[in-house]
Structure 1
Amino acid sequence: MKKSISMLLLMVLAVSFVLAGCGSSNNTANNTATNTNTGNTTETNNTATNTTTEPAEEPAAEEPAATDEVVTITYGTWGDKADNGAEMKRIKAFEAAHPNIKVQIDKSMDWPWDEKLAAAAAANKLPDVTWLFNVPLAVGSGWLEDLTPYLEQDPDFAPDKIYGNLADTGKYNGKQFALPHGLFSWGVYINKDLFAKANIPIPSANWTVSDLEDISKKLTNFNEQQFGIDGAAGMADVLIPNIDNTLGASTWDGTQYNYTNPAWAQAVNWATNFGMKDKSSLQSYKKEQKDKWYGKDISGFNIGKVGMVFDATWSLTWYKQNLKFNWDILPVPGYDGQQQKAGLVTDYAGVTKSSKHKKEAVEFLKWMTYSKDGWLARIKDESPLASMPLVNDPTVWEAWLAQDFVTPGVKDIVKSIPTGVLETFKYQPGFADFTSKVKDKYNEKFQKGEARPEDVAAELQEKSMEYYNNAMAKITEATK
């Protein structure tokens, strides 16, 4: 077992430097607000070498140097805040390694996250360190500290130790305001027992959308209320770069959105027609019917009645602890003639500008994001830890790969990361507002047949760039 993990680890490290190409920088220091050249989501150059300089001689910021005095910082998180939950375990490990820093969870921070952050900012009560659901909003609102001076002095924030372009997604106008603290991938979980019962071989990692459709139909037995897949209606965004490899998530190509590209309409039509209408897809049935079959709000996949479900690797922990059948996960299926692209998701955190203990806050942020010791402690204390590591270190990766939920499919997910594309919602300027105020209103219309993606593509193209440019203008003003 140790040998097989070590062999896989060598593979991970061999390709891990390519992982830097998964992100997209928001560095627009040399551009106007209307210039959208922010770096390619799928095929960017590795700009990690620009994030680190030689240690400076002067302090990182104009505040008193840290002393042995015990300092308490506050922390905003939507993670598990229970006394024995992951967040408290992380805090205790950090405090043990940093006896002069105490971390207190700010329990006033909760959902809706952006609104609670705005209220805290208005009352001058922002936590020192906080998770971020919408990074551009926080940057454009002036809530976040520029981390660049701190990172430039830290030898651990170096190109050979981090995944530079993932980190660069938290950089705006050449300044680092946020860092990823979690890395996940979308995939398709499968019930291996139902596959075996139907004499269906487990697909290879390079399976296709056609394979998924065929398997879904074979798994369906209406008389037993058994269906092929759940969640397929949510797959459109991850299918776009698999249909056309020149596009990233949400049609972003590195300079602009491309909703008029036929790949977007094809992906949406597939998610609508197969995900919401094919009788092998559980989403084609009304909630009342599903509640009658499985119980109110009960997942058909979780109780062994659905063969596949579209979900992300953040569910690995729950599935490992709760599913009563044999399961695995497969990468997002691809299309013939195109390179298969994984759909990646990052979570972010930052230090607030109002913090009176910025050095200590940065230390805690580092522990969660790019500290080797921090990641080893998280894997040990929070196991099973679903987030994949964000440091390029063999010891860290070996520890993560040794967790008991690491199935063959999880290893295939890891292999797919270097060519993956990063979801834009949390880091791309204006995209969250564009999604909630413009794009999402069409989903129900598509499902009801009241509109076609092809007919609204030009409007979405115009509006997506309008929201992007407006958000970048705010960020440019806030980061001067």
Structure 2
Amino acid sequence: MPSARAGRILVAALAGAGLLVSGCARPSVGSDRDDPTKPVTLKFWHGWAERGEVKAVNDSIARFEKAHPNIKVETIGNVTDETMNQALRAGGSDAPDVVSSFTTNNVGQYCSSGMWADLDPFLKKSGVDKKKVFPKTLLDYTQFRGRQCALPLLADAFGLYYNKDAFRKAGIDRPPRTMSEFARDAVKLTRRDKDGSYRRVGFMPSFRLYQNSPDRMFAQWGPTYFDAKGKAALAKDPRSKDFFRTQLKLINAQGGYGPLEKFRTMFGDEMSSQNAFLTQKVAMHMDGEWRGRMLKEAKAPFHWDTAPLPVPDDQADTYGRGYLNGTVIGIAHSSMHQNAAWELVKFLTTDTDEVVSFANAIHNVPSTFGALNSPKLDADPTFRAFLDIAKNPHSSAPPPSNNGGQYITALQDFSYEVEAGRVPDLDKGLRTLDAQIDADNLQSEN
């Protein structure tokens, strides 16, 4: 059945079974004493819903079942984090054994609540050295306060898409590598009609555009969100002010916030044929690795390529870095078949050929060193740029928190005010932002 309908039926079934309940401060207790060689059926819940992605998941499960004939896996897709968490709180035979999520910001909650089992004992028992298997950044966003409750299941890397035809006509021979080059090229690439209205901007800096969430661009600075004691530290880090000042320079160099916002509202939907990069309303664009496949399927009427996003001028040696996040997978603490569940998690996350096959199928970045360096990986040069970003030691992801990344939401709201020119004193504004983040974290812990 269509995955969207499957999701609705799942919610109704859970409600009927009494699983959609709130409260339950402690998760249901499962068992890690099961024999994974005995016949068993596992329930695997995931969020993929697009037909090709669901097929890729099912193909992976088929490969697993062939290698483990005693384990059958029932999959349910298009499951939201909220539905999954409600079922995990309640536990019971209808709850999942293996769970995955697209929301890395929620890992802190999964780990601190205990709803996702600690995977370190399973890794140790299997002889898997996680630091040798997974890139550090991906490990960082799958654990919280020393608890490895999740593992990476493919990743997303964010980089720069650029219109090669527009670059050639503007006399630009390569993508920008520093923020000063970025601003210079953005101005050169901007085109206006005779009445002064925009025909194209070099780069649309608005934090409200598509994937332009401020934390993704901020990754180019290597920011410090929290100090060693867990207190918000954005106001103390000079890179925070430099980030916002650079953003304002980009805005002002291309005509100012008001005109740019007016032009942005004329852009089409991100996932449609009216995407602003596809329709050449922007010459440079920040996006994830999946955009390349979409541009090819849409037969973009111009030549394009990919590169890492620029970095601050005083960090030129870090060029090649980028923002990373991705899908995470774990074992439900309530599962009575945790050893069998681990066999599935281990297969999906550490088997090099499996990770490569899945990455190629859904055009995501693989999440292990072995898969990143595999000759079987998609050789498309426009995809390779994102593989290099994933392997770059300077690439980063926002740290997990105990409240599902509420600090990222606070950063977004603050960033909207900054770009609109409504924060005259950045120092004061950043101190207020830190105080808000600390208050939100304290409330979550109480």
With the length of structure 2 as denominator, give the TM-score of the two structures: 0.76
Structure 1 residues 70-89: aligned runs within 5 Å: 70-78=40-48, 80=50, 85-89=55-59
Q: Specify the SS of the correspondent of 1:177.
A: coil
Unaligned runs of 5+ in 1: 1-59, 475-480
**1:264-413 → structure 2 map (5 Å cutoff):** 264-272=240-248, 274-275=250-251, 278-279=254-255, 283-290=260-267, 298-324=274-300, 325-338=302-315, 339-340=317-318, 341-379=321-359, 382=361, 385-387=363-365, 389-393=366-370, 397-400=374-377, 402-406=378-382, 409-410=385-386, 413=389
C-alpha distance in structure 2 between counterparts of 1:252 and 1:83, whole Å: 36
Shift of 1:103: 2.4
Residue 195 of structure 2 corresponds to residue 195 of structure 1: no
The residue that corresponds to 2:132 in the other structure is: 160
The answer on 1:445 being equivalent to 2:404 is no
Spell out the pairing of 1:447-466 with structure 2 (5 A cutoff): 447-452=419-424, 453-466=426-439
| 2:178 aligned residue (208, 214, 236) | 208
Does the CA-based 8 Å contact 1:235-1:310 persist in structure 2? no
* Structure 1 residue 108 displacement after superposition: 6.5
Alignment deviations for residues 319-361 of structure 1 (CA, whole Å, 9 cap, x no partner): 3433423221121211222242432224312111112222222
The yes-or-no answer on 1:117 pairing with 2:84 is yes
- Deviation per residue, 1:43-96 (Å, 9 max, x gap): xxxxxxxxxxxxxxxxx9642312342523232223535586332232222223
**1:236: how far off?**
4.3
Residue aligned with 1:270, SS: helix
Deviation by residue 1:200-228 (Cα, 9 ceiling, x = unmatched): 21236xx1111111111111222272221
One-letter amino acid matched to 1:304: Q
Residues 39-54 of structure 1 correspond to what in structure 2 (within 5 A)? Answer: none
Q: CA deviation at 1:431?
A: 5.9
8 A contact 2:150–2:328 mirrored in 1: yes
Change (3 A) 1:231 1:298: farther
Distance 1:369 1:447 in 2: 40
Determine if contact 1:187/1:331 at 8 Å carries over to the other structure. Answer: yes
Alignment of 1:463-478 (within 5 A): 463-468=436-441, 471=444, 473=445
Preserved CA contact (<8 Å) 2:34 2:337:
no
Is the Cα contact below 8 Å between 2:137 and 2:324 reproduced in 1? no
Aligned-partner residue type, residue 342 of structure 1: G
Determine the C-alpha separation between the residues in 2 that align with 1:317 and 1:180.
22
Identity %: 22
Instruction: List per-residue Cα deviations over 1:263-310 (Å, max 9, x = no partner).
Output: 213312433553488339995334554459x99982221123321101
1:237 aligns with 2:209: no
**Would the alpha carbon gap of residues 105 and 275 (structure 1) be closer, same or farther in structure 2, given more than 3 Å must change?**
farther
> Is 1:433 matched with 2:413?
no
Give the aligned length.
Answer: 396
> 2:110 is matched with which residue?
138
- Aligned runs of 1:23-102 on 2, under 5 Å? 62-78=32-48, 80=50, 85-102=55-72
Q: Deviations over 1:220-244 (max 9, x none)?
A: 222272221235533743554655x
Q: Are positions 1:127 and 2:127 aligned together?
A: no
C-alpha separation between the residues in 2 aligned to 1:84 and 1:346? 17
- SS of 2:401's partner is coil
- How far 1:421 moved relative to its partner? 2.0
2: CA distance between counterparts of 1:365 and 1:314?
24
Counterpart AA for 1:106: I
Which residue identity does 1:127 align to in structure 2?
A: P
Q: 1:97 to 1:321 in 2, by over 3 A?
A: farther
Q: Given the alignment, which residue of 415, 421, 424 partners 2:396? A: 421
In the aligned structure 2, how far is the partner of 1:318 from the partner of 1:444? Answer: 29
1:64 aligned counterpart, secondary structure: coil
Cα RMSD over matched residues?
3.5
* Residue segments in structure 2 that go unaligned for 5+ positions in a row: 1-29
**Which of 214, 223, 228 is residue 202 of structure 2 equivalent to?**
228
8 Å CA contact 1:258, 1:461 repeated in 2:
yes
Q: Deviations over 1:438-466 (max 9, x none)?
A: 44333443343333433321122223234
Label 1:298 to 1:253 Cα distance change in 2 as closer, same or farther (>3 A): farther
Shift in Å, 1:470: 5.5
- Residue 326 of structure 1 aligns with an amino acid whose one-letter code is H
Alpha-carbon displacement from aligned partner over 1:161-205 (angstroms, at most 9, x marks no partner): 33356325433444321111122322111111221233321236x
Q: Give the letter aligned to residue 241 of structure 2.
A: A
Q: TM-score, normalised by structure 1?
A: 0.71
Cα 1:253–1:136 change in 2 (3 A) is: same
**Cα 1:69–1:350, aligned 2, differ >3 Å: closer, same or farther?**
same
